[in-house]
Amino acid sequence: MWSRLVSLGLRAPVGGRQGFTSKVDPQGSGRITVQVIEHLERLALVDFGSREAVARLEKAIAFADRLRAVDTDGVEPMESVLEDRCLYLRSDNVVEGNCADELLQNSHRVVEEYFVAPPGNISLPKLDEQEPFPHS
Amino acid sequence: QSGSSLRIVSAALKQGQITPTELCQKCLSLIKKTKFLNAYITVSEEVALKQAEESEKRYKNGQSLGDLDGIPVAVKDNFSTSGIETTCASNMLKGYIPPYNATVVQKLLDQGALLMGKTNLDEFAMGSGSTDGVFGPVKNPWSYSKQYREKRKQNPHSKNEDSDWLITGGSSGGSAAAVSAFTCYAALGSDTGGSTRNPAAHCGLVGFKPSYGLVSRHGLIPLVNSMDVPGILTRCVDDAAIVLGALAGPDPKDSTTVHDPINKPFMLPSLADVSKLCIGIPKEYLVPELSSEVRSLWSKAADLFESEGAKVLEVSLPHTSYSIVCYHVLCTSEVASNMARFDGLQYGHRCDIDVSTEAMYAATRREGFNDVVRGRILSGNFFLLKENYENYFVKAQKVRRLIANDFVNAFNSGVDVLLTPTTLSEAVPYLEFIKEDNRTRSAQDDIFTQAVNMAGLPAVSIPVALSNQGLPIGLQFIGRAFCDQQLLTVAKWFEKQVQFPVIQLQELMDDCSAVLENEKLASVSLKQ
C-alpha cells in the first residue's frame, strides 16, 4: 500500500525532505533522534525541512533546560493568572447563528453546505519509506 | 505638531474646527506619503471615508458618540475585522476575510472611530522586530526624523540614506509606525511578551498593556491564551486612557474577562505630588546587556521620583533570570496548540494535495507558515510530548507561579508601581537586527517585558528622552493587577516631567519624493 501511495505522488509535495536526518548533529543533546523528528512532524503536521531547523530545536531545548536549576518543590503549576476567579458562563440561549453561508465562503473547497476534506485515516509515510534520498 | 493628540483633535471636532472627513482625508494622505514605512497591510479608505461621513452627520446633529467619534485609528492585522482582510502577515491567512469584528474593534467602531486600516506585524505576532511578516518589514519613522538625521550628519538628499533604516521593534511595529508617523491617533496592538511596549519604546510612543482580563480577547487571533492582551499605542498617556475607557469591560464572548465593576470613563487625575507614592526598582533588571544610555535614564527617572518626594525602593524579583526561559516554554507550547487550527479546511490557505487529510494539512501548513512559526510549533510539540510534559511544560507552569509571586511580594512590600527599562537599547538598524535569528532576538528583546505577561499585570512604556543618536528611549512602569488607572496616573505625571520631544518629520512630508527614490535604490541594493 505504501508504494502505491508513493506512486500517486503523495510523497513528493509532503516530503521535500533532504537526507539530513541520518546526519543529526552528534554534538546535540542527543534527544533529537530520527524517531523524535518523525514523531514531532507527525504530531505537528509541520516538517522540519532542513538541518538548520533541527539545530534550532536543539538550541531551544538547551535553552529550556535551564529551568532545571529552579527549585519548584511544593509549587503548584499555574495555569492562569485568574485562577482565583470563576470563569463566567453565559446562559444557554441561542442568540446568534444561521450564518452557514458566511462561514462556507471562507473555504476553498465546499460542496453544498459541506466542507470537503480529502480521505482520512491515512498516515503520513515514515521517513524511510520515502523515495530514496542521498543517504550517507 | 498641534492637534496631534486625540484629546485635542476630539475637542476640535466637537467645536467644528475640523470635520471628520477633513481629518480622515488628512490621515489618508499621510498614509500614502509614508507608504514606504510599510506600516499598513490594508488601507480601508472607503470604509474610513464612509465612517467619516456618518460621524460628520452626528456632529452636525450634536449627537457625537464621545471622545473617539471621528478619530482615525488603526488596528493590528491579527484582530478580526468584518469584511476586511485579516492576514496576521502570514500566507496562511492571505485573502482571509473574517465574518465578524473582534470585540475591541467593534467597541472602537461603536464609539465612532474611523478604521484607517490593518497594520503590519511579525508573522502571527511572533517576533520582536516586525521584520518577519510576509508583507515585508516595517520601517521606524524615526529613521527619517530630523533628530536622527542631524545626529548622523547626513544630508537628507543624499542617496544612500535608506539602506540603514531602523526597525520599529515588534511585533506591533506597524501600529507603532502608523501612530508615530501621525497617520492615526491611536492603534491597537497585541501584547503577549511585550509586543506593544517594545515598539512603543523604539518609536517614541506610549505603549499600554492592560491587566489580563480587563480587555476582551475575542477576535484577537490567539498566540498564548493565558498571556495575550490587546495593547494600545498612542502619542500620550491621556489618549491611551481614552481608548482604554472604550475597550475595558467584561465580554460575554470572552470568559477570561473579569466581571468586576470598573469605574468608567477612565479619567486620569493629574497627580499634584508623588509624595505618597512608592516606586520599586527591581535590582535583577540591571543586566550587563543594558545599554549605558538606558541605564542612565532609568537611574535619572528614579532620582526624579525621589527628588519630588516619592519613596524609591530597591526590590527583588528573584526568579527574573528564569523568566525568559519559562516564557519560551509556555509560549511555544500554547502556540503549538493554537496553530493546530490552521489546516486549510474551513478558512485560510489550502494546498493542492488531495490524497489524504494528513498530507493536505502538512503541505498546507508548510506552505502557509514561515520558519519562525513552524519552529515554535515544533518546539512546543516537543515540550508537550508525554515524556517531556512534566519536565518542561509543567515545570514552566510552576516557575510561572514563582515569577507571579515575586511580583506579589514586591507589591506587598509597599510598592505601588515598579520602574524598569522597556528595552535593552534604542532601535537598531534592520541590517544589524537580522544578523541573529528570531528566537535569539526575541529572547534578548523581551527580557524586561515578558514577565509582566506571565503575571498578568498592567504595564506601560513611556518615551523618556532621545539617545545620543537622536532615537527614542522608553521606560516601563508596572502596576498591580487591575490597578490600571493608578498606573496610568503615575505614568501621566512622569510624562509631564520628561517632556519627550515630538518627532520632526516635516522634511519627510515635504520631500517624500526624494525618499521614495532612495527607497527604490535601497531595495535594489538589498537584493544584491
Cell numbers standing for residue A102: 458566511
Chain B: nearest CA to A31, how far in angstroms? 10
A1 interfacial to chain B (CB closer than 8 Å): no
Chain B: nearest CA to A71, how far in angstroms? 9
Q: Name the active-site residue from B195, B425, B461, B467.
A: B195
- For B426-476, the pLDDT digits (tens) are 999 999 999 988 878 888 889 999 999 999 999 999 999 999 999 999 999
In a domain, B348, yes or no: no
Question: pTM to 2 decimals?
Answer: 0.90
In a domain, B66, yes or no: yes
In a domain, B372, yes or no: no
In a domain, B376, yes or no: no
In a domain, B333, yes or no: no
Q: Is B462 helix (H, G, I), strand (E, B) or coil?
A: strand
Find out whether B214 and B251 touch, Cβ atoms under 8 Å: no
Cα–Cα distance for residue pair B163/B197, rounded to 1 Å: 26
Output the tens digit of pLDDT for each of chain B's 528 residues.
445 899 899 999 999 999 999 999 999 999 999 999 999 999 999 999 999 999 999 999 999 999 999 999 999 999 999 999 999 999 999 999 999 999 999 999 999 999 999 999 999 999 999 999 999 999 999 999 999 999 887 555 544 557 889 999 999 999 999 999 999 999 999 999 999 999 999 999 999 999 999 999 999 999 999 999 999 999 999 999 999 999 999 999 999 999 987 666 578 888 888 999 999 999 999 999 999 999 999 999 999 999 999 999 999 999 999 999 999 999 999 999 999 999 999 999 999 988 999 899 999 999 999 999 999 999 999 999 999 999 999 999 999 999 999 999 999 999 999 999 999 999 999 999 999 888 788 888 899 999 999 999 999 999 999 999 999 999 999 999 999 999 999 999 999 999 999 999 976 666 544 434 444 444 444 343
Number of separate domains in chain B? 1
- For B85-102, the pLDDT digits (tens) are 999 999 999 999 999 999
Alpha-carbon Rg for chain B, nearest whole angstrom, is 22
Tell me if B374 and A53 make a contact (CB, 8 A cut-off). yes
Cell numbers standing for residue B447: 527580557
CATH of the domain at B96: 3.90.1300.10
Residue-range definition of the domain harbouring residue B185: 6-324+395-512
- Which residues in chain B touch residue A46, judged by CB atoms under 8 angstroms apart? 362, 365-366, 369, 374, 377-378
In a domain, B242, yes or no: yes
Cα–Cα distance for residue pair B279/B270, rounded to 1 Å: 18
In a domain, B352, yes or no: no
Which residue of A88, A102, A123 is in closest CB contact with B255?
A: A88
In a domain, B214, yes or no: yes
Q: H or E element: which one contains B209?
A: strand B206-209
DSSP string, B395-414: HHHHHHHHHHHHHHHHHHTT
